[in-house]
Amino acid sequence: MIEIEAIRLSSLCDFNADYASPLKNEASGREYWRVGNKKESFVLCYLDPDIGDHSNFINISESLKSNDIKAVNIIHHNYELGVTLQEDLGNDDLLTILNEANKEELLKKSIDLLVQIQNADIKNIKEFKYSDLVNQMNLCKDVFLKDFLNIKIDSLIDYLISLTIDKLKIHPWTNCHFDFERRNLILNKYKTITAIDYQDMKKGPIGIDMAGLLIDHYYHSDQNNIKSLLKYYSNSLNWKNDIIFTEEELFEFLRYGCLQRNMRILGTLANLYLLHGRSYRLKDLPMIFQNLVSMIPEEDIKENIVHKVQPILLERISQI
């Protein structure tokens, strides 16, 4: 989409914009634009109606609000055009504004929000199937390793996938944003945290969202910092069945949530490049891979995967 098209779509949604500037494109195919005039601005989200719609996002927004959780206000929705106009929360996502001075405070606020979402009564959301989670991890083997890097280490990856899904099956399942990472958390004008991009929320393993927040794709994972925040998270949980999880148990939930999430994302980003030529996230692959490997429990498997993959990955990225 180009600027003039975003402005045209805004007018068809009863908003006369003077300008439009791109915000981000998502793996889902959604495009986000800031559209505005001298008086106000909104975020325009476009998704080709042939690919999907905004019904999940709208339903979850309403459910979050009914649970007294700050959600994105939807100003206008045009089903036929595949467009929503949403409130403009500004540019202060946590990936951008987090620093050593505010890091602990903002991550704890984000944990508070995560606990609220996990305990909320969200209407009509589905549950992840085990086959969904496995197929997402298989993207790492079939796309990231085989197609993108031309590496075949099936036995190692198959073992890791099998281990991860077995663990996720027995972990607590709760509301799962599925992309609860720092670039999807906005510090709004009231200095509270608002989550965005929650249209893919389902019931899922507790550790996936924990991993999204505490093991960021853009920085090396810091195990000491992670364990400190898990202690805060443990104290914040309020389970209806009064089960209290130890920090060690929470770390294991986090570990396998990270393995599932990072294998999925390595495959997804490689696929976006191979199918659509989208190279804008390829530079993140080495860090995503390193953070994945850091959470593998067996040292021999960890070392083997690093030895076989990391040099080829770095060389491949340098060529693009």
- Statement: residue 270 has pLDDT above 80: yes
Both tokens of 262, joined, read 């990072």
Long-range contact list for 156-159, CB < 8 A, 24+ apart?
156/301, 156/304, 156/305, 156/308, 159/301
| pLDDT of the residue at 96 | 95
| pLDDT tens digits, one per residue of 204-258 | 999 999 999 999 888 888 888 898 999 899 888 765 456 778 889 999 999 999 9
| pLDDT of the residue at 24 | 75
| pLDDT of the residue at 224 | 85
| pLDDT tens digits, one per residue of 43-81 | 999 999 999 999 999 999 999 999 999 999 999 999 999
| pLDDT of the residue at 238 | 60
- Statement: residue 28 has pLDDT above 90: no
Distances (CA, A) of 129 to 118, 136, 258: 18, 11, 18
Pairwise pLDDT comparison (261 vs 217), residue with the higher score: 261
User: Beta-carbon neighbour count of residue 154 at 10 Å?
Assistant: 13
Lowest-confidence range among 20-29, 101-110, 225-234, 311-320?
A: 20-29
Q: Which amino acid is at 140?
A: C
| 123 band by pLDDT with thresholds 50, 70 and 90 | confident
| pLDDT of the residue at 33 | 96
> Residue 296 — left, alpha, or beta (φ > 0 → left; ψ -120 to 50 → alpha)?
beta
For β-strands 202-205 and 173-176, DSSP reports them as: antiparallel
| pLDDT of the residue at 72 | 96
Give the CATH H-level superfamily of domain 94-318.
Aminoglycoside phosphotransferase (APH), C-terminal lobe (3.90.1200.10)
Lowest-confidence range among 21-30, 83-92, 291-300?
A: 21-30
| pLDDT of the residue at 37 | 97
Where are the domains positioned within the chain? 3-87, 94-318
Please provide the average confidence, as pLDDT, over all residues in the chain: 93
Distance CA 257, CA 171 (A): 10
| pLDDT tens digits, one per residue of 151-168 | 999 899 999 999 999 999
Question: Domain 3-87 adopts which CATH fold?
Answer: Phosphorylase Kinase; domain 1 (3.30.200)
